[in-house]
Each structure stands twice: as structure tokens, then as C-alpha cells.
Amino acid sequence: MVKDKELSRGINLPIAIFIIVGMVIGAGIWLNPAAYLSRTGPAIFISYLIAVIPSIFVAFISAYLGSAFPVAGGSYVITSRLLGKFGGFMVVWLIILAVGTTLAYLSSMFGLFLAQAFLIPAGLDLIVVILIGIVVLMVFYFLNWIKIELSGLIELIITIFGDILVMIIFIIAAIPAFNPSNIANLFPIGISPVLFAALIFFFSYVGFTLILDVAGEVKNPKKNIPRALLISFIILISLYTLQAFMVAGVQPWNVPIGTVLEIIITHGLLPQGAVVFIGILIAVAIASTIHPSYMAYSRDILMISREHLFPKIFSKVNEKHKTPRHALTLLFIVGIIFLITFIPALTMLAGLTIELAATLLSAIVGVVVLIIQIPLCIGAIFFQRKFPEWHDKAGFKPSKVWIVIFGILGAVFSALFLLLLFLDPDAGLIISLIVFPFMGIGAIVYLIRNAMLKRKGLDVKAMMKKLPESVTLED
């Protein structure tokens, strides 16, 4: 198997499962089922069942690649070996953008839910959101300094109590208020709105490729990576569908409402004190995505730096705790920059709500994830032919036909959703103003860095034909 010499394999199967669950579940499940109910009708839970279909292909490919090549920073390493050094560089460059916007989006939503739970006045909410956001980003930045075993255990606890427990509490609390007549007619406005909502809800399932980036720290990765993906997949689709079903059963579809928390308050599902508790747990659920965002994608920066395409300082691992602190610092700084500039600019200058400003940030994340998924899915098709020795050692080794089918479908669905995002007037504009210039700057930085390496006599292209220096292939 592939073993990293400096990063320790401290992620067991339960921690791997909850890292994936914590990464995938975000603020969306507390917004979308309520906000879209009046647009889809009671069949909103069917939208979640449809939305999961494209993620099946991506999870399948991730299980294959992760068990074949379980190395830290898998998104970079796999892409660079299949598409070359420029492809690998651009993947990490885009990951920095995605993680920065993710951290800003999630930390602002974290602050917003706490502000709502504690009834902060509207005039002060932006200041409170920014201050809480900075604090939460700092807290999880330092939590990722510690050993992966303890950091992973923290993620497991946060996910259980923040994501899973709070959803179970809502589902149980909604049972007495469930009105079967609310779902008697599942499609009062037709099937098309249900299908359109499924396109939006697809982003609720984004995050399965994260396992590739911490694969170098998973114990028994050949077996545990496929198992973790399968189990987390079942947990996620069950929770999402049940929560959306209970929303439809409690809230009349033709009475618009904003969030699931509003449904809890409006229908008196829980006492006021419990509502504050739920608001805090929802904030914790958001935090469960902040934590693995730091954890996983700092490994891509670590690996690309060891191959000289990024500055050497990011290649260092703390000797005591075996964590890439310099890479974590880079992600922390980018997240802070987006939080203190993007959110205030859109709320104060453009007149948008904090929720909408954060949603536009999440659209940037969605675009980057889709862009990265396309080469991974395509690359999986050629993986066996290019690297037969790694394919033979895979713990999850489907037939070539299935790899081709799932690889093509994963790439096609990712490209389709990418196109649909650009067609959205607001999201398309923000994406064009941020993602395209960022990619252009990345291409320039790559050319400069590549020229510097050539002057030093370093042949990075030759490195792409073998394993990274930091890993060895062992039976």
C-alpha cells in the first residue's frame, strides 16, 4: 500500500465516515427544504433522492482511486500523474480558492445562526457575524495543528452532535405535527419544479472526493476508503430525505417560509430554550464542515510543495504533531480575506442579505468542485492503462467497463451542473468575476514558477512519472 513517511495513518473507519459526513452536510439542509418547499410542492424529498444520482458516480470513482493510490493530497497527486504538472498545479490553485470561499461562507453562516438564536438586532448582525466568523476560523485553524488522531476524533464528535443529532431531534420533534394531508398531492405544481430543485440540491452532496486528500492518513485504506464512502453515502441520503419529508409533512407547501429553524419556531415543535439549543447545534453542524476543509485540502498544498511547484515552506510537517501547519496557515489567511471583504462588500455595497452573499460564495465553491471532478473522472478511465501496478493493488477494483461508464457519467454530470451554474444570472456573474481571473492569475504564476524550476535544473515533468518523494509503494 501507499504510506506517507511523515504524516501518520491515524484515521480509522469511524473517523473516516464522519469526516465525509461532516464535510458533505452543511448549512444547506437547514435552508433549502424550507425555502424551496413553496416552489416544488410536497415532493421536495424526492428532489433529494434525484439529486444524489450524480454523486453516485463521483463516490464510485473516489472509492476506486482512493483505494488504488491512498496518499495524502490525492486530488493533486492523482491529477498531476494523469494530466501532468500544469493540471496538478491548477487543481491545487483552485482548491485554495474553493477552501478560502468555503471557510468564509461557513463561518459567516455559523455567525448568522448564532445571531438568530440569540436574537441579535438586525443593525448589528453583520458585525457580529464577521467577528464570530473570525473566531471560529481561528479556533478550527489551531485544532488542525494537533495530531490527526485527535483532530479526527474531534470531527467525529462534532459531526455526531452537530449534524446527525440535530437532524434526528428535528425529525422526531416533527412527528406530532406531521399532517398527512400536506403530502396528499405530491405534485400540485407539476414534476418540473421537483427536477429543477434536484439540480440545486445536488450541491448538498458535494464533498465525497475529500477522502482522496486524507487517504494517506487512513488506516487500512484499501478496505476502509470504499467502506467509508458507502456507509457515509447511506447515512447522508437517509438523513436528507427524512428531513425534507418531515418538512413537507409539517409545513403547508403553499405557505412560504425561510428556514427549517423558522418551521420549528412557527409550529412550536420545541420549547423556546430548546430552539436556542438547536440554533447552537446547527452552528456546530456548520463547523463540522469547516474542520475537514482545513484538514483535507492542506494536504494537497503539502504534496505540491514537496514537488517544488509551490514554495518549499508549505512542504514542512510539524515534527511533533505530524500536521502541515504552514499549509493550514495559507488556507486560514485566504478564508479570513474572503470573510472580511466579500461578505461586507455584498451586504453593504450591493444591498444583499448575509444569507444571499454567503450563498454566492458557495456557488464559487460548487464551480471549483465540479471543475476538479471532471479531470478526476476522466483520469480514472485511463488509470489502469497508465499505472497498472497501482490498479492491481486497489482494494476496490471494479471492471474496466464500469470504470469507463461511471467515469464518463461523472464527468458529463459535473459538466452539466457547471453549465447550469453559469446560466444563473447572479451566480454566473460572481463566478465569472472571481473564478476566471483567479484561474488566469494561476496560469501566470505557474509559468513563472516553472521557469524558475527550469533555471535551477529541476525536471518536475519527470517527477510526474513516479510516486511523490514522500511516499513509497509497499506490499
Identify the residue whose cell numbers are 483505494: 67
Q: Residue 1: what pLDDT?
A: 42
Q: Residue 9: what pLDDT?
A: 67
d(CA 165, CA 172): 11
What is the residue type of 110?
F
What is the residue type of 93?
W
Q: Residue 3: what pLDDT?
A: 44
What is the residue type of 222?
K
C-alpha cell at 162: 452537530
Provide mean pLDDT across the span 187-215.
82
Q: Domain of 453? A: 2-473
- 59-63, 206-210, 419-423 — most confident range: 59-63
Q: Is the pLDDT of residue 219 over 50?
A: yes
Q: Please provide the DSSP assignment of 326-386 as one string.
A: HHHHHHHHHHHHHHHHHHHIIIIIS---HHHHHHHHHHHHHHHHHHHHHHHHHHHHHHHHH
CA distance to 121, 124, 125, 350, 354, per residue, from 128 (Å): 10, 6, 5, 19, 11
- The count of domains in the chain is 1
Provide mean pLDDT across the span 335-352.
83
d(CA 172, CA 425): 38
CA distance to 18, 159, 351, per residue, from 230 (Å): 12, 17, 43
C-alpha cell at 237: 441520503
Q: What is the pLDDT of residues 278-317, one digit of tens each?
A: 877 777 777 778 888 888 888 889 888 988 889 989 988 8
Torsion of CA 267, 199, 208, 61, to 10 degrees: 150
Q: Is the pLDDT of residue 246 over 80?
A: yes
Provide mean pLDDT across the span 426-441.
83
Q: Is the pLDDT of residue 33 over 70?
A: yes
Provide mean pLDDT across the span 386-408.
88
Q: Residue 337: what pLDDT?
A: 94
Q: Residue 155: what pLDDT?
A: 77
Q: Please provide the DSSP assignment of 73-137 as one string.
A: THHHHHHHHHH-HHHHHHHHHHHHHHHHHHHHHHHHHHHHHHHHHTT--GGGHHHHHHHHHHHHH
d(CA 252, CA 359): 25
Q: What is the DSSP letter of 218?
A: B
Q: Which residues pair with 473 in a beta bridge?
A: 2
Q: Confirm if 337 and 330 have CB atoms less than 8 A apart.
A: no
Q: Residue 471: what pLDDT?
A: 45
Provide mean pLDDT across the span 406-414.
91
Check which CATH number belongs to the domain holding 382 and give it.
Answer: 1.20.1740.10
C-alpha cell at 222: 484499501
Q: Is the pLDDT of residue 65 over 80?
A: yes
Confidence of residue 8 (pLDDT cuts 50, 70, 90): low
Distance of CA 8 to the CA centre of its chain: 23
Confidence of residue 427 (pLDDT cuts 50, 70, 90): low
Q: φ, ψ for residue 384 (rounded to 5)?
A: -65, -40
Q: Is the pLDDT of residue 369 over 70?
A: yes
d(CA 98, CA 361): 9
Report the chain's mean pLDDT, rounded to a whole number.
84
